[in-house]
Amino acid sequence: MFEEEQDNLDFQSYPEYDEELDFKNTKPCPHCRKLIPSNAISCLYCGESVSLAKKPQWIIWLIVFVLLCFLLLVLF
């Protein structure tokens, strides 16, 4: 059974990450506040994901729209 599972794992089919980290442009990690490359996916120090730290723009616009609709409903 273990041999069957081992055959299913094909690590060479995964694409490699070709982009190199840019140490000239840095930003603080939102979790540990240490400087990391601006194009990093996760923090080199604490290991937390930094790509999900930003909220998507559509969520912000949705919240603004709902608040404006609520204000218009209350005022009129």
Domain ranges across the chain: 2-75
Q: How much is the pLDDT for 66?
A: 94
pTM for this one?
A: 0.45
Residue pLDDT, tens place only, 43-60: 889 988 887 555 678 888
pLDDT at 40 over 60: yes
Q: Above pLDDT 70, what percent of the chain?
A: 70
Cα of first residue to Cα of last residue in the chain, in angstroms, is: 69
Q: Above pLDDT 90, what percent of the chain?
A: 28
Q: How much is the pLDDT for 20?
A: 80
